[in-house]
Structure 1
Amino acid sequence: MGRSLFNLTEPLGIYSVVRRYTTARNRAVPFRWSAPAASYMDYEAPIIESPSLSSHLQNPLLAPPEPVEGYNYITCYDPATGLHLDTLPADSPTDIAAKIGLAKDAREDWSHSSWGDRRRVLRSLLAWLVKDQEVCARVACRDTGKTMIDASLGEILTTCSKLEWLINYGEIALRPERRRGNLILSHKTSTVHYEPLGVVAAIVSWNYPLHNALSPIISAIFSGNAIVLKCSEHTMWSSRWFVGAVRECIYACGWNPDIVQLVCCLPDDSEVLTTSPDIKHITFIGSETVGRKVAMAATVNLTPVTLELGGKDPCIILPRTNIQKWSSVWMRGAFQSMGQNCIGIERFLVHSSLYEEFMTEMADRVSKLRLGSVLSSSAEGFVSVVDGGSMINNARFDELERLMTDAESLGADVRCGGTRWRNPYSEQGAYFRPTLIGNVNEQMEIARTEVFGPVMLVLKYDSVDEAVGIANGLHYGLGASVFGPDQGPCKEVAMSLECGMVSINDFAVYYVNLPFGGTKGSGYGRFGGPEGLRALTNPKVVVVDRFPVLAETSIPVVVHSWDFVSGLISALYGQSWKARMVGLTKLIKAATS
């Protein structure tokens, strides 16, 4: 391709390809319905080389370059060290509109791709991600401050699993499907066709820059759409690199990479995307406040929206649960990515008989967590001695400490943490101490507010009904967990919870190939699984005659008779055989009179 697409030190970086690319496939290609893959390994695809990162991955710059007059810029920092990564130009409203246009033009050719073509692109992306998983994890760590383990589990493993599912089963979810009719339409055949919408958009959060970028992209392009992805300004540096890899895979497979566009803009300019008439669907992942604004903006063109707005996920621990057995899972649920996880466990509802044992065990574990940067060149920079990374920034530290102080004044027991932490090796890093806080009740502000930080919040209950009431008492309803010695009672509790997803004796195992989303204040719609794919399509119903030569719909004169129509309805839908026979008699009499 000539000059690399991935030199992140250039002002325009990966977008330089837009000006140089000429469509390689300018002919119309008939859409082919191929059989689903038996395995994603059956599809050969080019494996791209890992994009260049210049020196930024190992040695972030200490000072930003001089800005160019006339541009708005976004400055990117490593939150674990406070060191500068890059200063990059923000997209203007004109740039955003142009990218939507590029996606729209490129999508015309992509709409003719076969299932095999689409699988090949995804196979290429999967092969690259597996091959270069370490550098991908390091890029995510550098831009978010998380640990390599968090990046591996939350970014790479989940993305690989979604890619594998789409390659193996995505076509099955989007094939035309036959729908059953009824007796009165027995001479008809009905099918539902899932047609691509065109250009879709995704506005994603910063906590998982690799996964949150690739997940909507692969769903969009596999369902035949083009996509404009808006990343968070907090993770612009890594998002450009990850999306650049996707574009490279598309190009290597012989297609126009303009079907995937990345928008990096200031928040005030994003309305160009949400109000564009060329955007046919919007997926939003983020806060409830911003989600409401996106939904309102989308009404300009009645654009359908899928909203995932976070939650205050409860974990109900039933009596007789083995605390030692599940404590590691609970630690992961609360402190994965330092609690910056939309489906992280924010409320532990512990039966009073287990409360003291739970608090003692968790206090011992939480107090021993070691924070730092896994990419630091200092003495702390060994992955083996860092348990948790930084937060994305320190903007919410005052609020977190206020919530802790308020809860403590009302009787809460802050056993560990509760304050920010200064890393002696990286004084500018954004670190908050892992926190365990017990004796919390429903009236405390911290029990009702999404914390989105490294806080294990513990509420005590005496009866299962009380626990369910507490869990359902908030306006959130995203995910939940139930732990107990027997799965039967756990499932009964799970079915009583007002949420979109529940794990039993596990944490967040519903994330990969199932419909992901919530209810109430946690949003609506689903992404992931067949439901998520179909949300990016127009379900078109086609009804044809089963035997057109023998039976076609006609309107006989007698249909205008009330006795004929009412007799037909009674004959077909009467609630007893006697009622149906009366209706049939009435029908025959009307037809022969």
Structure 2
Amino acid sequence: MSLEDAARAWLAWLSALTLGQIWAALCNPPDKLWKTALFLAAFAWSVPEYWGRFRKWHRGRKRVKYVWPAPKEASPTWHGEVITNPDLFAHKRNPALLPPHASSEFEYITCYDPSSGEHIETRRLPTVEDIARQVARADAAQPKWARTTFAQRASVLRSIKAWILRDMESIVAVACRDTGKTCVDAMFGEVLTTLAKIDWLVKNAEKVLKPERRALSLLLAHKVSEVHYEPLGTVLACVSWNYSFHNALSPILAALMAGDAIVVKCSEQVAWSSDWFIGGVKACLRACGHNADIVQLAVCLPAVAQTLTTNPTIKHVTFIGSEPVGRKVAAAAASNLAGTTIELGGKDPAFILPSADLKFFASLWMRGAFQSAGQNCIGVELFLVPRSRQQEFIDLLLPRVKALRVGVDVGSLISHAPIGRLEKIIQAAQDGGARVLAGGEQYIHPDQPQGAYFAPTLIADVTLDMEIAREELFAPVMTVVPYDDVDEALAKLRGSRFGLGGSVYGAKRKECMHVAKALQCGMVSLNDFGVFYLNQDMPFGGVKASGYGRFAGPEGLRGLCYPKAVIEDRLFSLVRTSIPAPVDFPLPPGDKPWVFLKGLVFFAYGRGMARVKGLFDVVRMAVA
């Protein structure tokens, strides 16, 4: 605690005296009046301070209620035209899907429900010039936003939180309509995580970004050194489709609290829902009296997206997506020396030790494999099971996998595009000796035959050299890899290209920690799955081909700022740095500068008598 903090604490204690105590002091004989004067002075000095703190706290808790109507397509009773073999460019095969007055001068994409193939809308994509104007608007609005207080920013986030809690059903319905996921999966991955993000930012952002005092050396004892975290300006987030609500809002919330403006480039697969979600954020900004231009949504194809990542106005790029695209984004951002946070694919293992209680963890593993139809960057893609317990594992999980209801328990894939690749990889594993015990192929839903469903799959006797164990599937596939020796299995896992997350299960903490430390990944859960993301105080990210940098936690928030070192005199204008005469220009003749500096070095960094002699030389040369 600093001297100033100690003084404030003492005065706060004095100011806590009740009016009755002060009145009693006033009634004392004259020789006690000095105590009364002290009490009143402390009270008068501290009240403005604590009143200011109260007003700041109160402003930060302010919530502004606003209305953001849900689109009609979110209603469970809505039905659109079913597209045969739906994809983003279905309008090119069926021009009737185009909006009225569509022009051949522009690009369009078809938005549809992947679980049913129903047409939602066909929307025009912005041109390169449109995107440039969006970036310019965001950048023009950023300086004013950067001058807002943390209380004002917290008020915006609290208002967004109130909107989420109030219109939760609409938010979930929109996410489900555009991604094909189930309502339960949307609540887990969209709502819970976003609310956790808001709460962490509101409670911790100011503490994380306030000026940070740094240590000093003996030579700088008269100085105060701080690191200030300044907003970068305008940042870009290129986000994936698997959690259309959370992936869009998460970088926006962090950027707003850091004082930045942000452009979000969403996946074309979820253009419709992203537009509505970010529209809700912009409505909140307007209701709170701020310029909504600080948040922009860019929906564009790769050729136009490249102009975003190379735009010199963009000071930082967060990318969530595939490895090949991530490499291109990092290279493009490097052309302007923009910072990057890259989160790519994963092949997260669940390492099950011989001592693990299989029955207890069975439900957790089902959620880990089949959450959002396996389209989860930290979903469990590999189950490493002791060979002696593989059959026990199968007997326990296989009936549950077969009992999963497609369209109820497990939603659709984002599109039909991955299905052929998945079937090919699974067939190759089967040809190599693996056993497909359930699923393994496209599922044709009797009520929604145009839906992009893949049957929940359990495949056993997989080896780590198979393609199915090396490539990210992003599908509802439970892949079981038997092993004979823990350390041997760990050595093989370390050969994986990926290193995002992982989990370890066992009865003994020491054994679990041994495996956790050996795994080469950015995040590990012991006897749990994926909870490192629910705790937004933890950094999120991977190593190797899973990317670099971190979002979430203090590391992610500070990554949206640039650190500025600020150093000043401790007793401003009273004790200042001067150049000692022995080293002042022009240098004096002889060895006086050398003796002075040598003495200074020994005084600052030497030990014992060498330090004493150094101090003597410094004083002797200074007064000579």
* TM-score when normalising by structure 1: 0.88
Report the residue type matching 1:470 in the other structure: K
Secondary structure, in 3 states, of the residue corresponding to 2:225? strand
Structure 1 residue 271: Cα displacement: 1.2
Is 1:320 the equivalent of 2:355?
yes
Q: Distance in 2 between matches of 1:453 and 1:187?
A: 61
**114, 122, 128: which one pairs with 1:93?**
128
Question: Which of 448, 464, 473 lines up with 1:451 in the alignment?
Answer: 473
Contact kept, 8 Å, 2:190 with 2:245, in 1: the verdict is: yes
Matches within 5 A, 1:292-311: 292-311=327-346
- The alpha-carbon deviation at position 363 of structure 1 amounts to 1.2
Distance in 1 between residues matched to 2:63 and 2:394, nearest whole Å: 51
Relative to structure 1, is the Cα distance of residues 353 and 111 closer, same or farther in structure 2, using a 3 angstrom cutoff? same
- Is the contact between residue 40 and residue 164 of structure 1 (CA under 8 Å) also seen in structure 2? no
- Aligned equivalents of 1:308 and 1:553: distance in 2? 47
- Contact kept in structure 1, 2:455 and 2:476, CA below 8 Å: yes
Deviation per CA, 1:453-484: give whole Å up to 9, x if none: 11111212223212322332212111111111
Structure 2 counterpart of 1:52: 70
3-state DSSP class of the match of 1:477? coil
The answer for the alignment partner of 2:97 in structure 1 is 64
Distance 2:428 2:441 in 1: 13
Q: Structure 2: which amino acid aligns with 1:51?
A: P
Aligned with residue 290 of structure 1, among 325, 335, 344: 325
Matches within 5 A, 1:424-463: 424-463=446-485
- C-alpha separation between the residues in 2 aligned to 1:144 and 1:399? 20
* Residue 441 of structure 2 corresponds to residue 392 of structure 1: no
Residues 327 and 305 (structure 1), Cα distance of their counterparts in 2 relative to 1, 3 Å cut = same
Q: Spell out, residue by residue over 1:295-347, the C-alpha distance to the aligned partner (whole angstroms, 9 max, x if none).
A: 11112211111100121111111121000001111111111101111111111
Quote the Cα distance in structure 2 between the aligned partners of 1:482 and 1:166: 29
Q: Rate the CA distance shift 1:292–1:253 in 2: closer, same or farther, 3 A.
A: same
Give 2:380's aligned residue: 345
Residue aligning to 1:162 = 197
> Could you say what secondary structure the match of 1:392 adopts?
coil
Structure with the bigger percentage of helix = 2
Q: 1:524 aligns with which of 548, 560, 564?
A: 548
TM-superposed CA distance for 1:207, in Å, is 0.2
Aligned to 2:303: 268
Instruction: Give 4+ residue runs of structure 1 displaced > 3 Å after superposition.
Output: 33-42, 55-58, 548-551, 557-574, 576-593
More moved, 187-196 vs 493-502: 493-502
The whole-number CA distance in structure 2 between the counterparts of 1:340 and 1:541 is 42
One-letter amino acid of the counterpart of residue 242, structure 1: F
- Alpha-carbon offset, residue 145 of structure 1: 0.5
Q: Which residue of 266, 275, 285 maps to 1:250?
A: 285
- 1:55 to partner: Cα distance: 4.3
Q: How far apart are the structure 2 equivalents of 1:35 and 1:99?
A: 37
Amino acid at match of 2:506: G
Q: Is contact 1:34–1:114 with CA below 8 Å preserved after alignment?
A: no
C-alpha separation between the residues in 2 aligned to 1:418 and 1:505?
Answer: 28
Instruction: Give % identity.
Output: 50
Match of 2:160 in 1: 125
Tell me, in whole angstroms, the C-alpha distance in 1 between the residues paired with 2:443 and 2:194.
Answer: 32
2-structure distance, mates of 1:270, 1:139: 25
Change (3 A) 1:37 1:164: farther
Match of 2:174 in 1: 139
Structure 2 CA distance for partners of 1:589 and 1:521, relative to 1, 3 Å:
farther
Q: Distance in 2 between matches of 1:528 and 1:336?
A: 21
Query: Which secondary structure state, in structure 2, belongs to the residue aligned with residue 146 of structure 1?
Result: coil
| Cα distance in 2 between the residues matched to 1:135 and 1:579 | 74
State how 1:338-487 maps to structure 2 within 5 Å.
338-372=373-407, 386-487=408-509
For 1:183, the equivalent position in structure 2 comes to: 218
Moved more, 326-335 or 346-355: 346-355
Match of 1:106 in 2: 141
Q: Which residue is equivalent to 1:568? A: 600
Q: Aligned pair in 2 of structure 1 residues 326, 39: CA closer, same or farther (>3 Å)?
A: farther
Instruction: Please show how residues 500-579 of structure 1 align to structure 2 within 5 Å.
Output: 500-512=522-534, 513=536, 514-559=538-583, 561-574=593-606, 577=608
Q: Give yes or no for contact 1:308–1:518 (8 Å, CA) kept in 2.
A: yes
Stretch of structure 1 that moved more, 197-206 or 454-463:
454-463
SS in structure 2 of the partner of residue 51 of structure 1:
coil
Match of 1:499 in 2: 521
CA–CA distance in 1 between the matches of 2:386 and 2:55?
Answer: 48
- Structure 2 residue matching 1:440: 3-state secondary structure: coil
User: CA shift at 1:348, angstroms?
Assistant: 1.3
Taking a change above 3 Å as real, the CA distance of residues 206 and 446 of structure 1, as seen in their structure-2 partners, is: same
Paired amino acid for 2:379: G
Q: Which range moves more in the overlay, 270-279 or 345-354?
A: 345-354
Task: Work out whether 1:202 is the aligned partner of 2:202.
Answer: no
Contact 1:111 1:225 in 2 (8 A): yes
| Shift in alpha-carbon separation, 1:582–1:353, aligned structure 2, 3 A | farther
Which of the residues 236, 251, 259 maps onto 1:216? 251
Q: In structure 1, what is the Cα distance between the partners aligned to 2:519 and 2:70?
A: 47
Aligned AA (1:310): G
**Aligned 8 A contact 2:414 2:452 in 1:** yes
Question: Which amino acid letter does the alignment assign opposite residue 59 of structure 1?
Answer: W
Q: Is contact 1:103–1:259 with CA below 8 Å preserved after alignment?
A: yes
Aligned equivalents of 1:557, 1:273: Cα separation in 2: 55
Give the superposition deviation at 1:130: 0.6
Give, in angstroms, the shift of residue 550 of structure 1: 4.7
Amino acid at match of 1:64: L
Displacement of 1:34? 7.8
Supply the AA of the counterpart residue of 1:307.
Answer: I
Instruction: Quickly say closer, same or farther: Cα 1:570–1:464, change in 2 above 3 A.
Output: farther
CA RMSD in angstroms, aligned pairs only: 2.3
- How far is 1:157 from its partner? 0.7
How many angstroms does 1:156 deviate by? 0.4
- For the pair shown, the structure with the greater C-alpha radius of gyration is 2
Instruction: Report the CA distance between 1:123 and its aligned residue.
Output: 0.8
Cα separation, 2, equivalents of 1:428 and 1:179:
61
Aligned 8 A contact 2:59 2:152 in 1: no
8 Å CA contact 1:230–1:263 kept in 2: the answer is: yes
Q: Is the 8 A contact 1:247 1:260 kept in 2?
A: yes
Q: Evaluate the alpha carbon distance shift between residue 586 and residue 42 of structure 1 in structure 2; reply closer, same or farther with a 3 A threshold.
A: closer
Aligned residues: 547
Residue 520 of structure 1 and its aligned partner are, at CA, apart by 1.2
Shift of 1:412: 1.2
CA drift of 1:563 comes to 4.3
Secondary structure class of the residue paired with 2:80 = coil
Moved more, 348-357 or 143-152: 348-357
Whole-angstrom CA distance in 2 between matches of 1:537 and 1:35: 25
Structure 2 distance, partners of 1:395, 1:35, is: 56
Q: Measure the CA separation in 1 of the matches of 2:489 and 2:240.
A: 31
> Which amino acid letter does the alignment assign opposite residue 66 of structure 2?
I
